[in-house]
Amino acid sequence: MTKIKLVAVDLDDTLLSRDLQITGRVKEAVSAVRAAGVHFTISTGRMYLSAAKFARELGLDIPLITYQGALVKNAYSGQVFVYRPLPLVYAREIITRVHQLGYHLNGYLGDERLLVERDTPEGRRYAAFVNMKVEVVGDFLNYFDRDPVKLLAIAEEPQLDRLSKELLPLYAGKVHIAKSKPHFLEFSHPRATKGDALAYLAGLFGIKREEIMAVGDSYNDLEMLEYAGLGVVVANAREEIKKRADYVTSASHGDGVVEALEKFVLGDTCT
C-alpha cells in the first residue's frame, strides 16, 4: 500500500466527540502520526478562529482548511495561503432568495466575524455550537459592501433540500452549494471546497494524491474524499456518504478517526 504522507480530517461528527471535544485517545493518535513525519491537518466548514482553537490544542503548525476551503491559513503564524470569498453579486441574490423563504441566515467576514441579521434562536444555537461571538448587523443586503467568505442558511432539512435543488442549476460553476449538517446549507466560492484546498496543500508539500488520506462524514466532505487517494468515512455518517468512501470505520466520531490512523498510517507502529 502507498505510504500516507498527508491526512486531512473534518471536525464536526468526525474528529470531535459527540460533546464537541478532542478526546485523549485522538490526541495520542494524532501525536503519533505527526511523530512519524506525516502531515496532519483539519479540514472544516467552520470559521478559521473556531478551527484554530482545536488545531492549537493538537499542536498543528500547518495550514488549516477552513470555511469549506475558502480560507487556508496557519493556526500559529497566521499566514494566509488561500482566500476565496463568495462574490458579492451572487451573495446578494442568494440573500434575497433566503429572505423570501424566511430562513435564518449566517454571514461571515474575514477569519473571525460571524454575522446575523437579527437575534434568533437558530443564531444563538449556532453561536453556542461553534463557541463564537455573533454580531447582529441588520439586513445583509444593506450591510454587505464586500464579498462575504460564505453564507449559511439554517432550516429544516426538507426545506434546505428543496432550496438546494432550486439553486444548484442556477449557480453551477458560480457558487458552491452543499450541506455541512442536515440543517445547514452553505454557499461559497465555486472553488471553496475541501477537495480544492486539499489539492493546494498537496502541491505545497509536494505530495501525490495517492499519498493522502481524508476522513469525513458529510456532504461537504465529498470533494476531499474524492480527491484523496484514500477516502475514509466514519461509522456515524449517513449511508449515502458511506457509499462514496474507500473505507468505512467500525467506530464513530473521533474513535473512527483513530481507527483509520492506526490502520492506514501508523500500521505496526501503533500500540
The CA-atom distances, in angstroms, between 3 and each of 41, 55, 204 are 17, 24, 18
* CA–CA–CA angle 14, 264, 40 (5° rounding): 55
pLDDT at 271: 40
Fold agreement (6-83+192-269, 88-188) = no
* CA–CA–CA angle 175, 180, 185 (5° rounding): 50
Question: Could you tell me if 2 and 210 are in contact, meaning their C-beta atoms sit under 8 angstroms apart?
Answer: yes
Per residue in 66-79, pLDDT (tens digit) is: 999 999 999 999 99
H or E stretch covering 253: helix 253-261
Residues in the chain with pLDDT values less than 50: 269-271
Fold classified for 6-83+192-269: Rossmann fold (3.40.50)
What's domain 88-188's architecture? Answer: 2-Layer Sandwich (3.30)
Tell me the C-alpha distance between 140 and 96, whole Å. 9
Q: Is the pTM of this model over 0.85?
A: yes
Whether 10 is a known active-site residue: answer yes
State the catalytic residue, choosing from 10, 12, 111, 196: 10
Tell me the C-alpha distance between 194 and 213, whole Å. 13
pLDDT at 94: 98
pLDDT at 228: 98
pLDDT at 2: 82
pLDDT at 232: 98
**Residue ranges per domain, the chain?**
6-83+192-269, 88-188
